[in-house]
Amino acid sequence: MTDTFTLLTTLPHYSEMGMFANPKLAPAWEATHGRRFSTEDLLATAGELMDSASVNDGAEWGEATARCQAGFLLNVVDLRTRAK
């Protein structure tokens, strides 16, 4: 299992993420940092982030950041599965 903090610190800033930016950012992140983390770790971390976002419902900044990061990680997982 990976250190979630280490994984999160390698992600692009949440303000750079988004539906249209993630497909462009994911390959660069994968090449630079992604090899250090298994697909299972990415999925687990994305799940934790989504759980955190739903617990913090109403705390807009934290919820939005967690959802952006989870979406980014799921985009990387999708990139990996399409590459196989």
In a domain, 12, yes or no: no
pLDDT tens digits, 46-83: 999 988 777 656 655 567 888 889 999 999 999 999 87
pLDDT tens digits, 26-47: 999 999 999 899 999 999 999 9
Full domain range(s) for residue 44: 38-84
In a domain, 77, yes or no: yes
In a domain, 25, yes or no: no
In a domain, 64, yes or no: yes
In a domain, 15, yes or no: no
DSSP string, 13-78: PGGG-STTTHHHHHHHHHHHTGGGS-HHHHHHHHHHHHHHHHHTTT-HHHHHHHHHHHHHHHHHHH
| Count: domains in the chain | 1
In a domain, 74, yes or no: yes
Long-range contacts of 62-65 (CB under 8 A, 24+ apart): 64/14, 65/14
- Which pTM value belongs to this model? 0.85
Residue 34 C-alpha from the chain's centroid: 11
pLDDT tens digits, 13-25: 988 988 788 889 9
Please provide residue 20's backbone torsions phi and psi, each rounded to the nearest 5 degrees: -90, -25
In a domain, 17, yes or no: no
